[in-house]
Amino acid sequence: MPDLRIEATINGRKIARNAKPHLRLLDFLRDDLGHTGTKEGCGAGECGTCSVFVDGVLLKSCLVPAAKAQGTRIETVEGLAKAGELSVLQQAFHKAGASQCGYCIPGMVMAATAALRANPFADREEIKERLGGNICRCTGYQKIFDAVELARDVQNGRRPASALAEEDAADGAFIGVNVRRLDAPSKVSGALKYAGDMVMPHMLHMAVLRSPHAHARIVSIDTSEAEAMDGVEGVITAADVPGVDGFGVFVHDQPIMARGKVRYVGEQVAAVASEDPLIARRALSKIKVVYEPLPAVFDAHEAMKAGAAVLHDYAPDNIVKHIPIRVGDVAKGFAESDLIVEETYSTQQVEHAYLEPEAGLAYVDADGVVTILSPSQNITHHRHMLSRIIAQPINKVRFIMSPVGGGFGGKEDMVYQGMLALMAMKTRRPVRVVFTREESIITTAKRHPSHTTYKMGLTRDGRIKAVEIKMISDGGAYGMSTEGVMRKAAILAAGPYAIPNVKVDTYGIYTNNTPSGAFRSFGALQTQFATETHLDICAEKLGLDPFEIRRVNAMRDGASTHTKQALKSVSLTRALDAAEKAARWEPGVPNMRGATRGDLNGEGTRPSCTLGARLAAAASPKTSEVA
């Protein structure tokens, strides 16, 4: 197809450009015009990071063909204020602390701008509704609502412009003060470049071939047809690894690309680089991989049984790690208990869903240093691993951490940086990879799902005499952070309570599922969900207030932990007191007393959300007229 001719007005300037007909407006703005403030988060209109105005209408530019830009007036985040300045709304985001990783923020600023254009007096509930098409994974939205309300009031003259200005900090004391985020202006304006926004001269684009099988032997890989394609500059497989292959946070069990066999669906098998990302993707289909499917296992309990499919030769029992914690004698503790409560708990696999999909840029510099720029949460460890993998001394490997568009633990694994390094070494050109949302979701680590059996013995006055906790967790196909997650889950499992008899076992297990890895709160979320729910059940059975049962058992200053560590200061009872007071908690037994509570619906709650209530209210006067 011939190129398109696009003439449009973008941020007040007329442009006339030829463009490839397959481009989306998002690609045209970012790749052809360099407006990288408009981000890609999902490519499917679900997240809102790519929001722009087309003829004044807020649209998700990933859903708009570039051809539709012809003759339109487009505004991107870069055009909301004069160069070097910020709009009132952008200033309000800065003031309110509404940006964290910043990746959703340009889209959020656009949606908020649209909200206040649509209704300059929108109240908080309407603002929430109007931002409903934009996902933020960091902030919890509250400071974003605060920012939009602040901007609204300044624009309406209800609050002075000085409300946006710097007024924090004084007298040289800066610790303990709400200093405004120094990185916020770059985020609210879209100026900050994430790895996927960066380009280098003569840069190649890399695409990755992935396993369609959960467990299969690789009989052969034939890349010759792909390598012969016009425009293909390099193809790599595990055969290109010059050193000792293998990475992982605790055990180096994962090859840069599948070696000999694949262990989960989506595992990287080969990669192609080309100046044209489309050619790189097309070339993937020319790589011929012959697989011999192997028996697979998809359940952690099944994987622990004799005869189950084995993923890694070094772990014939499929156990990544077992962590035991032992204090006292639980049998004795249960014997001394008046009440024994048993329950099982389970938690699901969860995706980090940072708005910035994985992206990176690698090159070999003039001194032969293999350099990788990526939003990695652990460049120090990546440097060590890559140096072994490419058989280069540490000082010939350089990792640069680019701004991270959300991590939450999901960017601690070196899942694509090794491929980038190999491709840059092979082609001697800069190479960039940007994952699609689907690649990001199906190929990177998740929060460990868990299955926990729980037994607690207590005396009538609520004192915990013994707990026995066993958690089985599906670690998926590779070790990643499983060992550490099991350790933290075990240490913190029984909660911040002084318990004389404790038996905890956590097991991380290999299966052919998507790997599990590091995720904010790292195993402690799973085990403490069980403990804190269990305590509520026990409190009901014993007729105790839930704060009371926690106070009775709370660790205090000088307490010994379940790993027999002596603590100095323990703030738990202060936290309990403060929470009880802040929530104006009405004491009582947790026996379904919701209907009779007197502490509901007070300060600190939001109105119940009824979708469309605003529209119904707006429509109702007419209805009443008719009536």
Partner 1 sequence: MAKKRGRGVAACWYGIARTATVDRAGAWAEIDDGGTAKIVTGVTEIGEGILTVLAQIAAQELGVRPQDVTIGDNDTARSPEAAHAGATRQTYMIGNAVALASRQARAALVDVLAKHWSVDNQSIKTAAGEAWAEGTNHKMPMSDAVHLAKARGVVPVGSASFGTDTTGLDPVDGSGRPWQAYVFGCQVAEVEVDTLTGEVQVLGIWAVHDVGRAVNPRGVEGQIEGGIVQALGQGLMEDYRTVNGHATTPNLAKYILPTSLDVPHVTSVILEDPDPLGPLGVKGIGEPAMIPTIPAVMNAIYDAVGVRITSLPATPEKVLEGIIARTAKRNINRVAAE
Question: Of the two residues 9 and 528, which places its CB atom closer to partner 1 in the complex?
Answer: 528
296 binds partner 1 (CB under 8 A): yes
84 binds partner 1 (CB under 8 A): no
513 binds partner 1 (CB under 8 A): yes
Question: Of the two residues 84 and 604, which places its CB atom closer to partner 1 in the complex?
Answer: 604
What Å distances lie between residue 449 and 236, 312, 362, 398, CA to CA? 33, 20, 34, 35
Amino acid at position 609, single letter? C
Neighbours of 569 (CB within 10 A): 8
Q: How far is CA 1 from the centre of its chain?
A: 39
Number of chain residues interacting with partner 1 (CB under 8 A): 160
What is residue 68's three-state secondary structure? helix
Instruction: Pick the piece of the chain touching partner 1 (CB under 8 A) from 24-32, 199-207, 272-280, 512-520.
Output: 512-520
Site for partner 1 in 412-431 (CB under 8 A): 412
What is residue 538's three-state secondary structure? helix
Question: Of the two residues 279 and 576, which places its CB atom closer to partner 1 in the complex?
Answer: 576
97 binds partner 1 (CB under 8 A): yes
Q: Which are the contacts of 403, defined by CB distance < 8 A and separation ≥ 6?
A: 101, 102, 192, 193, 194, 195, 375
210 binds partner 1 (CB under 8 A): no
Give the residue among 31, 15, 147 at the shortest CA–CA distance from 92. Answer: 147
Residue 482 and residue 319: Cα distance in Å, rounded? 10
Pairing of strands 397-401, 370-374: parallel
Give the residue among 346, 301, 340 at the shortest CA–CA distance from 319. Answer: 301
Single residue of 220, 605, 623, 624 touching partner 1 by CB under 8 A: 605
Instruction: Pick the piece of the chain touching partner 1 (CB under 8 A) from 149-157, 301-309, 329-337, 518-526.
Output: 518-526
Tokens found for residue 17: 């450009």
Pattern 334-353, binding to partner 1, x per CB under 8 A?
Answer: ---------xxxxxxxxx-x
Residue 235 and residue 520: Cα distance in Å, rounded? 35
158 binds partner 1 (CB under 8 A): no
Cβ atoms 491, 456 nearer than 8 A: no
Site for partner 1 in 217-246 (CB under 8 A): none
Cβ atoms 483, 320 nearer than 8 A: yes
Neighbours of 286 (CB within 10 A): 18
580 binds partner 1 (CB under 8 A): yes
Q: How far is the CB of 159 from partner 1 (least distance, A)?
A: 18
> How many residues are given for the chain?
627
Residue 138 and residue 54: Cα distance in Å, rounded? 28
Q: How far is the CB of 449 from partner 1 (least distance, A)?
A: 8
332 binds partner 1 (CB under 8 A): no
606 binds partner 1 (CB under 8 A): yes
359 binds partner 1 (CB under 8 A): no
Q: How far is CA 358 from the centre of its chain?
A: 10
Site for partner 1 in 446-475 (CB under 8 A): 446-447
Residue 421 and residue 400: Cα distance in Å, rounded? 13
Single residue of 3, 123, 342, 599 touching partner 1 by CB under 8 A: 599
Place of tokens 């006055």: 461
209 binds partner 1 (CB under 8 A): no
Single residue of 12, 324, 543, 558 touching partner 1 by CB under 8 A: 324
42 binds partner 1 (CB under 8 A): yes
507 binds partner 1 (CB under 8 A): no
612 binds partner 1 (CB under 8 A): no
76 binds partner 1 (CB under 8 A): no
Question: Of the two residues 29 and 493, which places its CB atom closer to partner 1 in the complex?
Answer: 493
Question: Of the two residues 565 and 624, which places its CB atom closer to partner 1 in the complex?
Answer: 565
Instruction: Pick the piece of the chain touching partner 1 (CB under 8 A) from 12-20, 94-102, 280-288, 613-621.
Output: 94-102
Give the residue among 208, 323, 264 at the shortest CA–CA distance from 516. Answer: 264
Q: Which residues of 103-118 are buried (b: 16+ CB within 10 A; e: fewer)?
A: bbbbbbbbbbbbbbee
298 binds partner 1 (CB under 8 A): yes
Cβ atoms 431, 206 nearer than 8 A: yes
Pattern 102-131, binding to partner 1, x per CB under 8 A?
Answer: x------------------------xxx-x
Single residue of 9, 155, 453, 528 touching partner 1 by CB under 8 A: 528
Question: Of the two residues 611 and 626, which places its CB atom closer to partner 1 in the complex?
Answer: 611
